[in-house]
A and B are shown apart, each in its own frame.
Chain A
Amino acid sequence: MKKTLLTFIALFSLFLLEAQVKIDDLKTPDSPGFQILDISPTSIEKPINPQALGLTLLSQTNNGTGLPSNFAMEVSPYWYFKDSKASIHKYLNIRTDNKPTATMSGILQKLSISMASVYSDTISGSLQAKTNYLSFGIRTNLFTYRLSKQNKYLMGTLEKISNKVVLLKPKEIITDDKESEKKRLESENEILKDQISISTNDVIKKSLNETLEKNNERIQELNEEIVAIEMDAPDTYYNVLKEDKELKSYLKELDAPPLIQIDGAFAYSEAFLNNTFDNKRFNRSGVWANVAINSAGMTAQKANYNFSAVGLVKFINDNVLTDTVNNLFEHQNALDIGIKVDFQIKDFSMAYEHIHRNFSESTGVDSDRNVFIIQYEITDGLYFTGSYGKNFGEVNNLFTLFGINYGFGDSPLTVKQE
């Protein structure tokens, strides 16, 4: 186990060295790696665009390993490869020809791979006491359907954004006058060169040469001024754009969810009793699909609220503890059927999810998970997330999880190695 952990730590450290982990990369633990262990805030997740590299911390404690004992890491390979057909339309599944979107093209684009590590010191839900769980998961968007009227509306929004970007260009970064003067001087120089080459009068020739030299000096000055302005221009431009409320509102319109989204996921986990490698056993694997239907997807205008219903079908191959005296486990199949209803008004959303787990063998105990979830955007980019309810199983099944999630932000968070 120690060797496995060390390898895991080494791989994880490499990731941290490669990319400085930022606060906005930390997100609520909803990756398949956590979901397969029934410890994520929600087991029925609405489809999202995955992060290039996401790191989840369930707790910041560690056991001298330098790593939190409960964490998940999620990587989306798409962002590490060059997509020769990348466009905002492809990325947001918007069709430009006034037809409805019905696409499966997001499978590779939205594929994410996750790993999770969880330590349980007591029996909790399906987790056994004093056991480490390592899990691996993948998920992706399988299908998206957008109505043509919503595509048309979003194309209109993109047009408004483009025109706004041009309109808001700060005067101090516009170099048109300098470039115009430069162009005029360059053209004048071409004429001067012709005149010098045919001139036989030394006095005129000298005067023409002086003008040519003067022009060249001015062109050089203008070049330097243009380069200096262009150097700082992206920051100046960005600061103006980010302060514009109208542009911000247009950008938010692009978050309008499609009418139907189907996501698929697979996860596999192993358990290590007493932190010992020799005690390794298969824990659970599962394959599942989420089908989301969004009311905002039916409108062709800006929606301040969205009601969504997400259905879940999950096939699980579980290793259930059947003999507590001899600590014997037995492979059993289970089927999860669930639904989540989610209502979002501007920055606040509340959701309720219900999942019924039905074991195929009579020795398995069927159970339900009922959880309330709330999320609130406290300020721009700062989210409060909370879950409360009953998890699967009959022992220690109270489920609560509260946390702050930084959605966007500039402050880097350095994860210190012990």
Chain B
Amino acid sequence: MENEIYLIGKDGKVITLTVTVTTPGIATTEVKLFLSDGTIINKGNSTNGAGLISDRPMDVDTKLDNSTIKIETIILLSKVPESAWENCFDNLEINYYLDGGAENQNIPFKLHNNEKRKSSNGELIRAIKRIDLNRM
């Protein structure tokens, strides 16, 4: 359960998050921010069915040192033929783009295999990505 690390500065830049999900299923992405003192800030959820979060501001970098962004995506494959659920799980791709931090970082972060799980019948997929924001 190693978190990704995104390096941020301390010059008041706004850190933004974009999430893109590649799946024919119905995707919903929910974003939460865990500040260093344990405070949880709900950053809302996607509403377009494709799980897209577009340029969502997290906060200014001066307030985000040692915080963690938790991005949870739920995919419902109810409209996809059941015989294709397994392939949808294997082919699921989620990209996480952060902006406003240090230059030349390895963006986007990709969803790893150990960050996704599915229900026993395969109709629901849950993917969780955690990204630590650390000062450079």
Residue ID in chain A nearest B124 by CB atoms: A238
| Contact surface of A with B, Cβ cutoff 8 Å | 19, 22, 24-25, 49-54, 76, 79-80, 82-92, 96, 155, 158-159, 161-163, 165-166, 176, 179-181, 183-184, 186-187, 190, 223, 226-227, 230-231, 233-235, 237-238, 241, 251, 254-255, 408, 410
A-B contact pairs, 15 of them (CB 8 A): A52-B83, A79-B81, A85-B22, A155-B48, A159-B48, A162-B45, A162-B48, A165-B28, A179-B34, A180-B40, A187-B66, A226-B1, A230-B126, A231-B117, A254-B26
Q: How far is the CA of A276 from the CA of B78 in the complex (A)?
A: 45
Chain A contact residues, majority secondary structure: helix
Using CB atoms, name the residue of chain A closest to B82. A24
- From A89, A155, A183, A235, B120 is in contact (CB under 8 Å) with A235
Contacting pair A234 B124 (CB below 8 A): yes
Chain A residues near B37 (CB-CB < 8 A): 183-184, 187
Is B125 an interface residue when CB atoms closer than 8 A count as contact?
yes
Question: Which one of B70, B78, B93 has the highest number of Cβ atoms from chain A below 10 Å of its Cβ?
Answer: B78
Contacts of B49 in A (CB 8 A): 88-89, 155, 158-159, 161-162
Q: Tell me if A83 and B22 are in contact (CB < 8 A).
A: yes
Q: For the complex, is B76 an interface residue (Cβ under 8 Å from A)?
A: yes
| Candidates B1, B34, B79; contact of A91 at CB < 8 Å | B79
Q: Pick the contact of B25 from A49, A88, A176 — CB < 8 Å?
A: A88
Mask for B7-34, Cβ within 8 A of A = 1, else 0?
0000000000000011111111010101
Specify which chain B residues have a CB less than 8 angstroms from the CB of A251 in the assembled complex. 76, 78-79
In the complex, chain B residues whose CB is within 8 Å of the CB of A86: 22-24, 91
Residues of A contacting B84 with CB < 8 Å?
51-52, 76, 79
Contacts A166-B28, A179-B34, A179-B70 given: A234-B45 contact, CB under 8 Å?
no
Query: B30 contacts which chain A residues (CB < 8 A)?
Result: 166
Contacts of A227 in B (CB 8 A): 1
Distance (Å) between the CB of B42 and the closest chain A CB? 9
Chain B residue, CB-CB nearest to A232: B117
The answer to whether A79 and B48 touch (CB under 8 A), given A88-B27, A230-B117, is no
Q: How far is the CB of A310 from chain B (nearest CB, A)?
A: 22
> Can you name 7 extra interface pairs (CB under 8 A) apart from A91-B80, A166-B28?
A51-B81, A88-B23, A162-B46, A165-B28, A233-B117, A237-B119, A238-B120
